[in-house]
Structure 1
Amino acid sequence: MAYGVISHMKAKEVFRVKQSHGKGIVEIVIWQVPTPVPPSEHPYKYRLVYVVNGKWVVGYDNERGKGDHKHLGDTELPYGFVSPQQLMADFMADVKGVEQ
């Protein structure tokens, strides 16, 4: 049965970068997973962070039980995941917004 094979697949890293950006560091890690991380409905697990002076300034993730969300400073907001490309674009727009 084909669906049994999928359940045994491992997460596959799709994108990873860690580099200086502005006054801090940007780290982006995106994995394709065999089954969605509940309550997310897409096949991706991700963590995107912008850290300045050791403080998490912008963050996007989809931790189990919370689903897709973003952190802007101390505020946590829901995030509407569309695609990995849109995720990175939205994250970088928020990073740019806090840099100004």
Structure 2
Amino acid sequence: MKASPLYRFRREFDDGAILEVVIWQVPEPVEGCTHPYKYRLFYGFPGRRIIGYDNERSKGDHRHTSGGEERYAFTGPEKLMDDFLADIARERSNL
């Protein structure tokens, strides 16, 4: 089985913020993970990440916020999207 895209989405907000989601199903787990997904989720401005989720090789599942980087308990693509969008909603409510 080859890697196959599950989600690919990009939205630009009126204030210049960007939301981008890329999730792939992969034949073998990415190093540091136990599930068959490779993903990167970004919210921020060009050159400035505010919120990010990814499973970079060897780092495993983690998220980036203004407080730094922390482990993320991945349970599936739907929950990943829910958590990411909730973080963005909180961030945008502070504008």
| TM-score after normalising by structure 1 | 0.85
Is 2:66 aligned against 1:73? yes
Name structure 1 gaps, 5 residues minimum: 1-8
Per-residue CA deviation, residues 50-95 of structure 1 (Å, 9 max, x unaligned), is 0125311000000111000000025001000011000000001111
Q: CA RMSD in A?
A: 1.4
Q: Which has the higher helix share?
A: 1
Name structure 2 gaps, 5 residues minimum: none
Distance of 2:23 and 2:76 partners within structure 1: 11
Tell me, what secondary structure is at the counterpart of 1:97?
A: helix
Kindly report structure 1 stretches of 4+ aligned residues shifted beyond 4 Å.
none
| TM-score after normalising by structure 2 | 0.89
Tell me, what secondary structure is at the counterpart of 1:80?
A: coil
Larger Rg: 1
Is 2:24 aligned against 1:31? yes
Is 2:87 aligned against 1:94? yes
Counting matched residue pairs gives 92
